[in-house]
Amino acid sequence: MYFQSLTRRRGIGANSYLLDLDGARIVFDAGMDPKAEALESTPNYDLLPYDSVDGIIVSHCHLDHVGSLPVLMRQQPRARAYMTEPCGELSEAMLHNSVNVMTMKRDDLEIRDYPLFTHREIDQVQHVWEYVPTEKTFRVGDDVEVDCRFYDAGHIMGSVGTMITHNDKRIFYTGDVNFEDQTLSVGAQFPRDPVDVLIMETTRGAVQRDEAYTRDREIKRMAEAICGTLEREGSVMIPIFAMGKTQEVLMALHLLKKEDLIPSAAIFIGGLSTKMTMIYDRFMDKVARNHRGFEILKQMELTVASRRRKRDIRYNPHCIYALSSGMMSEKTVSNKFAFEFLDNPRNSLIFVGYADPDSPAGKIRAAKKGDPIQLDPDRAPIELHCDVHEFDFSGHAIREDLRQFANDVSPKKIALVHGDDDAFEWFEQTLGQDLPESEIILIGPEDRFEI
């Protein structure tokens, strides 16, 4: 019995891991690395013999966890994919959009391997996606019995951690988790009973959050930045991830308007955000969340840019633009809109989540006013003159909460995944002091350990 990473490199990228329990083989997640291209962006599925996997557990629908699912299922035709229904609905939309992005890259960058899968292939593999509600036991494997159970992970809608039970051995995979309530999402509902093996994300392991932090205070700080911008007849742009972060921020803006903490202003959304928000609204009464029954698209006064006319979003003063993508990647709506936004000193750019340092958003966050910003290699740089604000609305658990969870379940082995080297180092040192009887394993590319 063993656990093996299928990733090609350490860090946050194409998450995928194999668990072999006496011949019952389960793969956790099937991600795609946004910093790589073509097959290099996928996990190393060559480590898996053809048609050797019994089941695939999808923890949630971010591309770094689900982006290569059709590739994996092509090579593992017998395997069923297990996920929650909201995760499945969101994953379908994400994967179809990914085909469009890959096709564009094939044409623009001449990457012949793209797309890695087609719209038709997504439709075909969906027939073997099995939707399972949280806290209901299901079985994976025919010859070897393995029981699985999902628990709400509080990261985004439909995200789960998974308990695996086999021959009295308990293995828990956190996926991406958040133990604190967000504006919409409620905190993770993980069991705290002892486990034998804990496979734990470490995304924020290198970050020491301010002890005075509260989400409400952060939202009010954002409100102050918005008010100051609108008072000087500027506009606010929030580059934002289409799924999860968009819905959280839109709900926060609605509450701020309702409480008269920000003035009335037109709110524009564009890109993939509209499709994802429609799915969130469909599950408004079916999932554990705050503000149940609230339909964002119907009950908020939003200006929704048509997907077909997304190039036609035009700048106007005294508006709020929540546009994907969050990293302002080339050719996306937020990237294109930035060309008529960044050089206006009345405007404000607001970041609410992670941005890779090498992405356009990351470069803006590291820049000073007056610096030239290369938003797109095919176009001339534009000078940065607008204000830039950063707020912490992360959907990942703070390291202290992950530390507490690990202490509560007191595993014999802790496998650290989904994090950078400095995050691994913090958890290795801290948990080594907390749990001296536990074996702490830093999982690198293709690493394997016995269960």
Q: Which two tokens stand for residue 374?
A: 């290369």
> How far apart (Å, rounded) are the C-alpha atoms in residues 205 and 422?
7
Cβ count near 376 (within 10 Å): 18
> How far apart (Å, rounded) are the C-alpha atoms in residues 308 and 422?
43
SS3 label, residue 256:
helix
Please report, as a single letter, which amino acid is at residue 217.
R
Please report, as a single letter, which amino acid is at residue 442.
L
Print pLDDT tens along the chain (451 aa): 999 999 999 888 899 999 999 999 999 999 999 889 999 999 999 999 999 999 999 999 999 999 999 999 999 999 999 999 999 999 999 999 999 999 999 998 899 999 999 999 999 999 999 999 999 999 998 888 899 999 999 999 999 999 999 999 999 999 999 999 999 999 999 999 999 999 999 999 999 999 999 999 999 999 999 999 999 999 999 999 999 999 999 999 999 999 999 999 999 998 789 999 999 999 999 999 999 999 999 999 888 865 554 456 889 999 999 999 899 998 899 999 999 999 999 999 999 988 889 999 999 999 999 999 999 998 999 999 999 999 999 999 999 999 999 999 999 999 999 999 999 999 999 999 999 999 999 999 999 999 9
DSSP letter (8 states) at residue 368: -
Cβ count near 125 (within 10 Å): 20
Nearest to 208 by CA among 10, 363, 430, 442: 430
DSSP letter (8 states) at residue 397: P
Query: 47: alpha, beta or left, given left = phi > 0 and alpha = psi -120 to 50?
Result: alpha
Q: Which two tokens stand for residue 285?
A: 């009464």
pTM over the 0.75 mark: yes
Nearest to 164 by CA among 396, 402, 411: 411
The topology under which CATH files domain 215-390 is Rossmann fold (3.40.50)
Environment class of 23 (CB within 10 Å of its CB; exposed 0-12, middle 13-18, buried 19+)? exposed
Cβ count near 420 (within 10 Å): 14
Environment class of 150 (CB within 10 Å of its CB; exposed 0-12, middle 13-18, buried 19+)? buried
Is residue 191 a contact partner of residue 150, using CB atoms and an 8 Å limit?
Answer: no
- All CATH 3.40.50.10890 domain ranges of the chain, comma separated, are 215-390
Residue carrying the six token digits 């995944």: 417
Nearest to 338 by CA among 355, 321, 358: 321
The terminus-to-terminus CA distance of the chain in angstroms comes to 5
Highest CATH level, class, for 2-207+395-450: alpha beta
> Between 273-282 and 245-258, two packed helices, what is the crossing angle to 10 degrees?
80
- All CATH 3.60.15.10 domain ranges of the chain, comma separated, are 2-207+395-450
